[in-house]
Structure 1
Amino acid sequence: MRITASTDVGLRSEQNQDCYKAGRLGDDSYWIVLCDGMGGVTSGGEASYVCVSYLSQAFSDTLIDLASPAEVQRFMLDAVVKCNEILYNLSSEDDGRIMMGTTVVMACIRNSFVQIVHAGDSRAYHISKRNINQL
């Protein structure tokens, strides 16, 4: 299995607010999380970092105990909701963070199934030598 990620600041921004991390658990479980921050130079980057940090730790702590694809999907959805709560609480504490937010896309590849969750306009793609397909 080969998982790659790439990020680019784009044409309109001066700072990249993307953050991503991938991991492997055991012989058959892989996960990847990518967040694209929004809401200003510092708060968007912080939001994406906070979410990637939380989600990667959640995957490491929990994924090995989940048996079925349905359990993995529920875990992933609950983890995104928890990230939203964390960011909301951070933004409530400081006016400088009031517009903080991030998109998120994450995938779990396990045995013969892939689970994907996204919020916002970030998406996952399968790229082969001949095609690029949005998942």
Structure 2
Amino acid sequence: MHFYGMSDIGLVRSVNQDSFCATFNINNDFMAIVCDGIGGGKAGDVASSLAVESMRASFLKNPSLNNDEDVQRWLHETINEVNDAIFTQSTSNRSQHGMGTTMVGILITSLNSYVFNIGDSRAYAMYDDLICLTEDHNLLSDLLRSGEVSRETAHNHPQRHVLTNALGIWDNVRVDIARINNDYSQLLICSDGLHGYVKEGVIHEILLMNEGIKVRTRKLIDSALAEGGLDNITVILIDQREGDLNG
């Protein structure tokens, strides 16, 4: 398996509030996470960094992840601890009040692969086609489900970035966790700086390119910059096909 991650501040923002990590532990489990901080000048970058580093530290303590129940338990316990840490810090520090972050992650054990999500960062899998694995926790998704907004107009909806769930904003958090089929060729996790501006068809075309993993990751970033680079852009690409895909 090959993986590569990259983050870009974009062309408009003065601070990169995205954070990410991708790592193995000594059990040879693999975890990749992208967090997109929220709060503007109120330390969204602090929240995303705290979330990533806390998850990474817990993962490197090598939790026992032998079945679905172990994975569910560890993710719920760890993410709730992260939520408490961000919420406590934001309520005790006036300059950080209201900070929070999204989180999307992939966890691959010796037996299964899992996706977990809070907010509107996304995970995709390449099977026969490109499939979005996560559901956005935002007002636009609620409006789409209720039929108040059509998919044709959703891309430019003024409230598409209004979150209904995030880490650190409230004293409790909802996390979606799902086991996914292992027969994917590639996995992609990203902040909305990519999927919010680049059409899925373009993402699909880039993933199908006969290029190394670093080149495809760079092309995903560049595609968001070409759309104006209006937000921070973070991408982790995971490829489990055989061969040298690191170029």
Give the TM-score normalised by the residue count of structure 2.
0.49
Aligned twin of 1:116: 115
CA separation in 2, counterparts of 1:11 and 1:134? 26
Q: Which residue of 2 aligns with 1:59?
A: 59
1:3 aligned residue: 3
Query: Could you tell me how far apart the structure 1 residues matched to 2:70 and 2:130 are?
Result: 29
Mind listing any 5+ residue stretches in structure 2 that lack a counterpart?
A: 134-247
Q: Which has the larger radius of gyration?
A: 2
Which residue pairs with 2:70 in the alignment?
A: 71
Q: Which residue of 2 aligns with 1:19?
A: 19
Whole-angstrom CA distance in 1 between matches of 2:38 and 2:61: 27
| CA distance in 2 between partners of 1:28 and 1:50 (Å) | 24
Pairwise CA RMSD: 2.1
Match of 2:31 in 1: 31
**Partner residue, 1:106:** 105
Q: Judge conservation of contact 1:15–1:41 (CA < 8 Å) in 2.
A: no
- Give, in whole Å, the separation in 2 of the partners of 1:74 and 1:123: 22
Cα deviation, residue 58, structure 1: 0.7
Q: Is the 8 A contact 2:65 2:109 kept in 1?
A: no
- Whether the 8 Å contact between 1:9 and 1:16 is mirrored in structure 2 is yes
Q: Distance between the aligned counterparts of 2:124 and 2:35, measured in 1?
A: 15
**Deviation larger for 111-120 or 7-16:** 7-16
Task: Give the superposition deviation at 1:35.
Answer: 0.7
What amino acid maps onto 2:132 in structure 1? Q
Moved more, 104-113 or 88-97: 104-113
Shift of 1:12: 4.7
More strand per residue: 1
Q: Deviations over 1:32-83 (max 9, x none)?
A: 12111110246100101101010001111143x2321221122112211111
Count residues in correspondence: 133
Q: How far apart are the structure 2 equivalents of 1:114 and 1:55?
A: 17
Task: Note if contact 2:42-2:98 (Cα within 8 Å) is conserved in structure 1.
Answer: no
Contact kept in structure 2, 1:104 and 1:118, CA below 8 Å = yes
Give the TM-score, by structure 1 length: 0.86
Q: CA deviation at 1:28?
A: 4.0
Change (3 A) 1:44 1:131: same
> Offset of 1:11 from its aligned partner?
5.2
CA contact (8 A) 2:26 2:62 kept: no
Q: Runs (4+) of structure 1 moved beyond 6 Å?
A: none
User: What SS does structure 2 have at the residue aligned with 1:57?
Assistant: helix
**Distance in 2 between residues matched to 1:12 and 1:74, nearest whole Å:** 39
SS in 2 for 1:82: helix
Measured after TM superposition, the shift of residue 92 of structure 1 is: 1.3
**Any unmatched runs of 5+ in structure 1?**
none
Could you say if the C-alpha distance between residues 13 and 132 of structure 1 is closer, same or farther in structure 2, counting changes exceeding 3 Å?
farther
SS across alignment from 2:80: helix
Name whichever of 24-33 and 51-60 sits farther off: 24-33
The one-letter amino acid paired with 1:61 is: K
